[in-house]
Amino acid sequence: MKQKALVMFVLMVCFFLVACNGTENQFDQKLEQEKATKVMNSVLTSFDDEEKLAEAKTSDEANQIAWEKIKERNTASLSDDLNEKDESRLLYLLTTNKAEDLSNGGTKANLLFSQDTKNKNVSFNESAKSFTFDIERSGFDHKLITLEKQEDKWKIVKVADPE
């Protein structure tokens, strides 16, 4: 009798632990979307509008300087998995190039941060548990920015052109 009671007690504890563990790992889509949106919005507003991020002789040099500043300011929001193409697409969304003519006939690239980039739509990928933001720049250019949870934080993992 004592053995049966002990076995029943152990089984009840096991069921209780499984039930508690199951609720802990549930994915609350609405709450997680709010968190991912907060991360996305913080990247879109991480500098003042029209704040100069870089000045260089060429756009390529200015892009590199500006990307380093954006990356530094948004370290917690950017995945280490972002490739160069994704980085340049994101940089394009976040900046405007206001080139300046020089007296020697050349030009100087001035990259300014632009808060003219807005979130149009958010979609959820059930199997990947990721959110994709349809971001529009200046009312005409679209990019899809995908965030996944890495190290318990939402991070930008991909920036792509819409198909």
Distance, CA of 128 to CA of 20 (rounded, Å): 24
- Per-residue model confidence (pLDDT) at position 7: 55
DSSP 3-state assignment of 132?
strand
Q: What is the pLDDT of residues 40-65, one digit of tens each?
A: 999 999 999 999 999 999 999 999 99
Tokens of residue 123, six digits: 């979609």
Per-domain boundaries in the chain:
37-160
Q: What is the pLDDT of residues 63-87, one digit of tens each?
A: 999 999 999 999 999 999 999 999 9
133 bridge partner residues = 122, 145
Q: Is the distance from CB of 144 to CB of 127 less than 8 angstroms?
A: no
Mean pLDDT in each 10-residue stretch from start to end of the chain (163 residues)?
62 60 70 96 96 94 96 96 94 91 82 92 94 90 94 96 87
